[in-house]
Homo-oligomer: A and B are copies of this chain.
Amino acid sequence: MPGEFDFIEWIKTQQSPSDLVKVPVGDDLAVLKWPASDLLLVGADQVIDGVHFDSAVHSPRQIGRKAMNRNLSDCAAMACLPAAAVVTVALPKGLSVDYAKELYLGLKEAADVFQCPIVGGDTSTWNGKLVMSVTIMGRSAGVKPTTRSGAQPGDLILVTGPLGGSMKGRHLTFEPRIHLAREISKTGEVTSMIDLSDGLSRDIRHICRMSGVGARIDLMHLPIHDDIYDIQREDWRTFDHALHDGEDYELLFTATTWTGEQPEAWPVGEITEGSDILVNDRNGLHPLVPKGWEHAF
């Protein structure tokens, strides 16, 4: 079997061109020329076998695509344009080099949609399951980054699409809302934004904590995804799914106003004074207990 260095040689043949890249994959570090006018946004997210995917069920192409798209979705949350990515892979011993190539092609397929070259990384084999870590670098490119920290009492809370049931498959196939995020940010009405990865009931807390505000979510206003259609609509359980499921990768944002002129989005509540996060459901108004995704130690 070919080894790591042959795999790197193959990766070099797969490079997508980019004006930013002065020294590509193959050296100790890649060298980029960052546009002087652009802020640099950076973060990292990983996918782990048994946590974010199941290698017994999902193809390496799907896994690679998800690993990249989770990071591209963070670019959407900040309304920036993906510019470059680096990837590390801890690969189970005994997997073929073709498997590694499929992982890479999945990563690249997702990144190419946004002209985002993969400029570096590392592959190691080990006696463990598959772990992939992606670091994404984005550029502001004329749009002010949207943080989690600008929400004000009275702001509307909105989501960009129907929620719930992503585990039926959407967690693997979603499209990062990058272009939509930039359209939303350009309206000038947006005060904070996050992507829905942990579930609305948990992700709204990030905005509230960072902004020093409270929130009220109106359960009956949540747009429900067809993926939970087999549960009868208007059944309260459908709203529970929309509230807690996670991995929707839609945008959750706050705005001073939102009209039919703006990009389509569903108002699902309002930012309030204080720090209470409440849900308005069949039992009236009471504390919203998060049930979304948190990694427990």
Contacts and interface: CB of A to CB of B under 8 A. Distances in A.
A80 interface: yes
A74 to B, nearest CB: 5
Interface stretch (A94-102, A104-112, A159-167): A94-102
17 contacts: A1-B297, A26-B148, A28-B195, A29-B41, A29-B42, A29-B77, A33-B39, A34-B34, A42-B137, A43-B120, A46-B124, A48-B90, A49-B128, A50-B128, A90-B90, A91-B297, A96-B297
A129 interface: yes
Interface in A12-71: 22-23, 26-34, 36, 39-46, 48-52
Copies in the complex: 2
A4 interface: yes
Given A90-B131, A147-B23, A39 B32 contact: yes
* A: interface residue count bin: 35 or more
A33 B40 CA distance: 6
A200 to B, nearest CB: 15
Contacts of A90: 46, 48, 90, 131
Given A296-B3, A297-B2, A48 B122 contact: no
A126 B78 CA distance: 28
A125 interface: yes
Interface stretch (A81-89, A257-265, A267-275, A279-287): A81-89
Contacts of A126: 48-51
Contact of A43 (B28, B49, B140): B28
Contacts of A278: none
Contacts of A172: none
A4 B295 contact: yes
A135 interface: yes
Contact of A129 (B22, B74, B122, B128): B128
Contacts of A30: 41-43
A88 B23 CA distance: 25
A27 B210 contact: yes
A194 B5 CA distance: 15
A126 to B, nearest CB: 5
A25 to B, nearest CB: 9
A88 B133 contact: yes
A36 B210 CA distance: 30
B128 A48 contact: yes
A225 B146 CA distance: 52
Contacts of A133: 44, 46, 88, 122, 131, 133
Given A127-B50, A145-B23, A194 B294 contact: no
